[in-house]
Structure 1
Amino acid sequence: MASITIVIPVYNEEAGIPAIVEAFGPYFKSTSLNAKVLFVNDGSTDQSLQEIEKVCLLNDHFEFISFEKNAGLSAAIKAGFDYSQSDWVGYIDADLQTDPMDFLSYEAFLGEFDLITGKRVNRKDSFVKNLSSSFANWFRDSLLHDHVSDSGCPLKIIRKDLAVSLPFFKGMHRFIPALVLMQGGKLKELPVSHFPRVTGKSKFHLWNRLLSPFLDTLAVRWMMKRKIDYKIRSTNSLTHPN
């Protein structure tokens, strides 16, 4: 049976940890994969780590790693990918604005695609957040041509070996589809449900939703243009790259 680790970055989400456990109960019962959740505590200053430790002590489906200090969402995702011991890795936000049950619709495509990512339908965010996200997606696709309408959707499944090979940098979580394509992978975008935030506070605002993604998009475009690509026609060497 193929295995998957769902990575959940956590930063000051103490009130939402019990809800995460409850939301994943039906998923664990329904999935065709050998599934676990890996919490990545990103230097929380509230009681998030203590709540996570309680969950992991009582439920074998949950594990955790904890940073010494806050390192950011992209670092938490990378650490989760690096520490996962599974064929596939998934990603979902701790705020549960997306539903882990939507991962089930991804499973039929795992043999054909390297990344399955969500497109949030009827988003329950503020007007400003939706507007800035729409502009960022349009700008990103105009330059990177990944043809994904919701690159930042926090509901993804990716092949583990491909996930750890991606170039990581602050803000890279917005560009996973483009980076997968740059590595020669295939992706599929599927509609997923979206809900209002119930606990915690958003870690993003207009400034870091527009300026940082703008600069990062230019950086990713530069990487795509400068990517080294070659194909071996023939060789008598017995040495193969790892």
Structure 2
Amino acid sequence: MTAPQLSIVIPAKDEAGNLPALLDEIQAALPDTDYEILVVDDASSDGTWELLCRRAAGDARVRPLRHAESAGQSTSIWQAAHAAQGIWLATLDGDGQNDPADLPRLFERAQRGDVTLVIGQRTNRRDDWLKRLSSRIANGVRAALLNDATPDTGCGIKVIQRRAFLALPYFDHMHRFTPALVLMQGGSCLSLPVNHRPRGSGRSHYGLNNRLWAGLVDLLGVMWLRRRSRLPSPLESVSGPAALSEGEEAPRPEQAESGTTALKGLSR
């Protein structure tokens, strides 16, 4: 079985009212793309799991996954990325606020190969004032302390090579710091304007306490991690016989042109 080009990962908790339209929109947005959709039901208490099972029965591209107990958004994305089969990885929030119509443009840009991560920037936020305020403060603090060159790190729509994502360090809430982690591994990031829509139904599971204050605590951990990181560090390797003849001098890196490979940071 040939691996799909793109694995679309959607973390969802109590999103039975939003997922049907979202899945239909993905299908309409990517008619010529070989993709799969991994939706992680993070211990929903509504009909999310039953809905996903019905969709999977009628569409082999839909692959439902489930947590018996809530594990959070980052764990859902990370586990789905490991289960995915695609060469590329895209993420969308399960609340329907990300527009799947933006996926082809982000995917095409990522495939050019000169950036590691393409992330959306919500230029016209459709959230309440408290959510916008907490995100603005968190983004400002992150940008000042991490210099991650990303104006909207909390945007749920992202495209990255799957192997590059799996090379990132995992921790709870890592999805909020993906650009900084990519840069720390020697990669590069690009932000593109994307559409943002009001939530269709249900309610957000993220408020001031778990969006702003928890994010600031996590920020300290990422700062420590970046300080302790030693990647990327160029590593020279020479192909061919490992042993040298007696009295033979080992070649300098600049002399070993034909058989030398420089191993640098995150693949793009």
Match of 2:235 among 232, 236, 240: 232
Number of paired residues?
A: 238
Where does structure 1 lack aligned partners over 5 or more consecutive residues?
Answer: none
Q: CA RMSD in A?
A: 1.9
- 1:199 positional shift: 1.2
Report the Cα distance in structure 1 between the residues aligned to 2:42 and 2:106, rounded to whole angstroms. 27
Aligned to 1:10: 12
Percent identity over paired residues: 34
Aligned to 1:25: 27
- 1:2 positional shift: 6.7
What is the identity, as a one-letter code, of the residue corresponding to 2:87?
Answer: D
Say if 1:208 and 1:20 are closer, same or farther in 2 by CA, change over 3 A: same
Alignment deviations for residues 14-58 of structure 1 (CA, whole Å, 9 cap, x no partner): 1222112221121121x5x31111111111122110000000100
Report the Cα distance in structure 1 between the residues aligned to 2:39 and 2:235, rounded to whole angstroms. 41
Q: How does 1:107-126 map to 2 (within 5 A)?
A: 107-109=107-109, 110=111, 111-126=113-128
Say which SS state the counterpart of residue 8 (structure 1) adopts: strand
Larger radius of gyration: 2
Q: Which moved more, 1:69-78 or 1:224-233?
A: 224-233
Aligned to 1:185: 187
What is the identity, as a one-letter code, of the residue corresponding to 2:23?
Answer: V
- 1:234 positional shift: 6.2
What is the identity, as a one-letter code, of the residue corresponding to 1:192?
Answer: V
Alignment deviations for residues 87-128 of structure 1 (CA, whole Å, 9 cap, x no partner): 111100111101111011113322222111000021111111
Where does structure 2 lack aligned partners over 5 or more consecutive residues?
Answer: 243-260, 264-268
Say which SS state the counterpart of residue 17 (structure 2) adopts: helix
Alignment deviations for residues 58-111 of structure 1 (CA, whole Å, 9 cap, x no partner): 012211111221111111010111111111111001111011110111133222
Aligned to 2:159: 157
What is the identity, as a one-letter code, of the residue corresponding to 1:172?
Answer: M
Q: Are the equivalent residues in 1 in contact too, given 2:36–2:86 (CA < 8 A)?
A: no
Aligned to 1:69: 69
Aligned to 2:94: 94
Match of 2:178 among 168, 176, 179: 176
What is the identity, as a one-letter code, of the residue corresponding to 1:87?
Answer: I
Aligned to 2:45: 45
TM-score, reference length from structure 1: 0.92
Report the Cα distance in structure 1 between the residues aligned to 2:182 and 2:235, rounded to whole angstroms. 22
Say which SS state the counterpart of residue 14 (structure 1) adopts: coil
Report the Cα distance in structure 1 between the residues aligned to 2:172 and 2:135, rounded to whole angstroms. 18
